[in-house]
Chains A and B, each alone.
Chain A
Amino acid sequence: MTKLPPARAETTEAFLVQSGPELAALCTECGACFNACPMVDYVNLRGADPRIVTGGLRRLASGEAAPEETVAWVGACTKSGQCVDACPQKAVGLDAMLLVRIAKQRAINETRQLPAKQDPSYFPRIKTFARLQLGDEELEKWL
């Protein structure tokens, strides 16, 4: 059972705006999260300087543009979660995976360093799959 945390903001949007700089302030740019990330190999970044990449991570989470390597790394986050335990600042409340997640959002919506991946057929496709398989009662009760 996961006891959910108390609300810290009135919306998820407000929470993310607030949390980016808060988490970034806890980050020491040590590079441990980057070193632990299995996706680094998939985007050919193993030779990059972890401190420069994580320095960019802090800036990006606060809404500032980041180096190319940082953007490529956060863009390749697949939520493996290895960064969470690798982070020496975990004990003081730094959730490294959430920091990367926020940085990725900032790179899409604020610094525009990552393209927005929009799929207007996402919900229509799901609804069509539902109608293909569910009975009337299931459609009415589940959706």
Chain B
Amino acid sequence: MAVSDNRVTFWFGCNMLRHAEMIRLSIMLLERAGYDVRAAGGPAYCCGTAHDHQPHGASNMAGRTVNRFNEAATKDGRGTVVTWCASCHMHMSDIMAPGNTVAFDITHISELLVASIDRLAPSLTVPVPRRVLLHRHLGFSTHVPINDRIASMLSRIPGLELIEGPALPGHMCSGIAAVPGALKTVIGQTWSAAIANRADTVCTIFHPCHREFAALDGRDNIRIRNWVQLVAEAMGIEASDAYVGWRNGAAPDIASIERAEPSRYQALIEPELRAPPLQVASAGIPE
């Protein structure tokens, strides 16, 4: 796989905006791999996949997003859209493109980085002495061999021991959350596997999974990290994680809350950050 032009659009989706550091790290990794990156996401670049109950509105959103990427391709030479979100990627491939004329191709960030591993590998010099269990889903492999790609990236990190977690249903935890009881089961299966394998880290691939695991950070001496954070650690780059901190009692600084508007913060953000974590069985302590 090769991208002929190094100018790309990094389409990070909507819900990644909970994890700004992960967006910045992704951009940094793409740039270190030699790409000229323009990031795009949020509601103005919605794929429409979360709005099945509004087919007309979702169709308009999809058309608008395709038009923006077409413009980036024709006017700015960005003929490749690099995806992060499995939902966005599948929706573009299966529904948005057949319903719109597109002037670009897509590739997932994991494919692009693995294809550029020779450029990245010399930077992976800092040992990351973690025993890492990879949280995996079955889905999205229809489009991108995501679990293999991430495992391939992580295997290049010095000092990191990788254990593949159970292959769980769904493509990301967000889909599972809609089925009563299912999310608790799959999170519990990953957690139990991490304990059984004496892992000290659970590595998430996608942001909705990271969101679900965040409140478990530190429990059973297991930390929650996303794969881009582990790659950054191996580059000697600090990979802070505000969302994990917020889910475990920290609060955003006052200036940030003022910027977001305190009433909106209280109504829209705080309930999510203060929600109790899913109850999973801890080591030696039945649920």
* Chains A and B come from one and the same complex: yes
Using a CB–CB distance below 8 Å, which chain A residues touch chain B?
1-16, 19, 38-39, 42-43, 76-82, 84-85, 95, 97-98, 101, 104-105, 108-109, 116-118, 121-134, 138, 141-143
Give the CA-CA distance A34 to B63 in the complex, in Å. 32
What would be 6 A-B contacts, judged by CB atoms less than 8 Å apart? A3-B105, A11-B59, A13-B55, A78-B139, A128-B261, A143-B42
- Do A81 and B257 touch (CB < 8 A)? no
- Residue in A12, A43, A104, A129 whose CB lies within 8 Å of B179: A43
- Residue in A16, A85, A105, A117 whose CB lies within 8 Å of B178: A117
B76 at the interface (CB under 8 A from A): no
* A114–chain B nearest beta-carbon distance, Å: 9
Q: With a 10 A CB-CB cut-off, give which of A12, A109, A129, A132 has the most chain B CB atoms.
A: A12
Give the CA-CA distance A98 to B170 in the complex, in Å. 14
Using a CB–CB distance below 8 Å, which chain B residues touch chain A?
1-3, 12, 14-15, 17-18, 20, 23, 38-46, 48, 50, 52-53, 55-56, 58-60, 62-63, 80, 86-87, 89-90, 92-102, 104-107, 111, 137-144, 169-171, 175-176, 178-179, 181-182, 185, 242, 252, 256-257, 259-261, 264-265, 267-269, 272
- Do A12 and B242 touch (CB < 8 A)? no
- Do B99 and A7 touch (CB < 8 A)? yes
- Do B171 and A132 touch (CB < 8 A)? no
* B175–chain A nearest beta-carbon distance, Å: 4
Give the CA-CA distance A104 to B98 in the complex, in Å. 19
Secondary structure of the A side of the interface? helix
Contacts A128-B269, A129-B17, A133-B242; is A2 near B99 (CB within 8 Å)? no
Contacts A8-B99, A81-B142; is A125 near B137 (CB within 8 Å)? no
